[in-house]
Amino acid sequence: DAGVIQSPRHEVTEMGQEVTLRCKPISGHNSLFWYRQTMMRGLELLIYFNNNVPIDDSGMPEDRFSAKMPNASFSTLKIQPSEPRDSAVYFCASSLRLYQPQHFGDGTRLSIL
């Protein structure tokens, strides 16, 4: 059974560039979550979707961040323009329903120079 698949695993880019992170949730899961993990702030929820609809984006740090879920099997998190303070590990997670345990992907380690 394939788990949550994220790509790329690592991304190094220069400040000002557009970054797109991708996520494929587990088939049949209705809820999808994007998190950011840093040493300073820990694990923070950025946005989550239920049945492909964004429900709560209050964790998105600013307008440079956007997320979409065009269908049940794909989501993107975009940062434009990127800044060095966006450097972090970004996790995508999915769950069968809201409230059920979330299954995390391996994360994307993002470095903005």
Partner 1 sequence: ELKVEQNPLFLSMQEGKNYTIYCNYSTTSDRLYWYRQDPGKSLESLFVLLSNGAVKQEGRLMASLDTKARLSTLHITAAVHDLSATYFCAVVGGGSQGNLIFGKGTKLSVKP
Q: Which of 19, 29, 94, 107 binds partner 1 (CB under 8 A)?
A: 107
The 56-95 contact track toward partner 1, x by CB under 8 A, reads x-xx-------------------------------x-x--
**Contact between 50 and partner 1 per CB under 8 A:** yes
Query: What string of DSSP letters covers 49-93?
Result: EETTEEEE-TT--STTEEEEEEETTEEEEEESS--GGG-EEEEEE
Q: Which residues bind partner 1 (CB under 8 A)?
A: 31, 33, 42-45, 48, 50, 55-56, 58-59, 91, 93, 98-107
